[in-house]
Amino acid sequence: MGVLVRVAGFVGTWFGLLVVGGLVVGLLAPDETATLAPRVPLLLGVIMFGMGLTLRPRDFAVLGRRPRAVAVGVLAQYSVMPLLGWGVAVLLDLDPLLAVGMVLVGASPGGTASNVVVHLARGDVALSVAMTTVSTLLAPVLTPLLVLWLAGSVLEVPASSLVLSILQVVLLPVVAGALVRRLAPAAVERALPLLPLLSVLGIVVVVAAVVGANADAVRSAGLLVLLAVVAHNVLGLAVGRVVGRVTGVGEAASRAVTLEVGMQNSGLAAALATAHFAPLAALPAALFSVWHNISGSALASWWARRPVDAGARPPTAVGG
């Protein structure tokens, strides 16, 4: 158990590099990794179950104490990122499948990796966890509606199927994890240190599978898609920072809002794109998963040298 905990700590620390490694493996062994693409929704379900295991009633207490800060962050996430994803796709004249992939990334809830990065940035982790949880619970309604609204003009969007998929691979696993924590708290507490290992390995496999299934597209149009992903993420972080500052939620909360807006659950976007569109539509999500961990970690390192009183507990899990 001690060895596994140390391994889990290692993969949590080097999460970004390991995701890059998944991308490289996907490019070097496309035939082998592409066979894992149908397993992407299952992998995401396991990751979201792990997120559910980390939830406690006090994580929701922030909603009562600071509803305005949570609302600001969640509203910014579900407005800024979908619109930016669509706008960047139109500006760069991306293929319709890639455009849908960009919108899917933007319309996805926050990823739990943001909780870790907010902690490193000395931001308000309790607020970050609350925002991730609320945006995840809203995803079955908001994600399909946003994708249908923004991408429905270029590609047929199976909105009802998207709702069902999000319920199956996001909401139900999160609720199940929270119930298990409620029913067996002692056992879950012992397992919590291992969750980063589960989450990181799951995301690495998702990236490798998606890149492997799109190896030719990565080689031919990878730079253009990477440019789109970088622009999407950087603009999201910038607008998130502006929203946090102008709404006056405070510096620690502003850092949390910035990172929650800019860092998405790209694993969910990849799973939905693979299941309901085509592997090519999942490419922006795979590249976003690599890039947002690099940019988020870099921003956190810069902020870590400018400490504020975040008053938040450290996170216990990592995800897409």
Per-residue confidence (pLDDT) for residue 54, from 0 to 100: 82
Per-residue confidence (pLDDT) for residue 316, from 0 to 100: 44
pLDDT by residue (tens digit) across 65-101? 888 999 999 999 999 999 999 999 999 999 999 999 9
Cβ neighbors of 182 (< 8 A, separation 6 or more) are: none
Q: Quick one: average pLDDT of 159-167? A: 91
Work out the mean pLDDT of the chain and round it to a whole number. 86
Residue 167 has which token pair?
Answer: 């319920």
Q: Give the whole-angstrom CA distance, residue 164 versus residue 177.
A: 19
Count of other CB atoms within 10 angstroms of residue 185: 11
Per-residue confidence (pLDDT) for residue 1, from 0 to 100: 59
pTM of the model: 0.84
Give the residue among 31, 59, 23 at the shortest CA–CA distance from 288: 23
Q: Give the whole-angstrom CA distance, residue 165 versus residue 260.
A: 23
Domains, the chain, with CATH or none: 37-304 (1.20.1530.20)
Per-residue confidence (pLDDT) for residue 57, from 0 to 100: 80
pLDDT by residue (tens digit) across 17-74? 888 888 899 999 999 999 988 888 888 888 888 888 888 887 778 888 888 999 999 9
Q: Please, which pLDDT band fits residue 12 given cuts at 50, 70 and 90? A: low
Q: Quick one: average pLDDT of 150-167? A: 88
Q: In the predicted model, is pLDDT for residue 312 greater than 70? A: no
* Residue 67, strand partner residues: none
Residue 96 has which token pair?
Answer: 């319709």
Q: Give the whole-angstrom CA distance, residue 278 versus residue 286.
A: 13
pLDDT by residue (tens digit) across 197-246? 777 788 888 888 888 888 888 888 778 999 999 999 999 999 999 999 99
pLDDT by residue (tens digit) across 111-131? 777 887 888 788 888 898 889
Q: Give the whole-angstrom CA distance, residue 131 versus residue 133.
A: 5
Q: What percent of the chain has pLDDT over 90?
A: 39
Q: Give the whole-angstrom CA distance, residue 267 versus residue 316.
A: 18
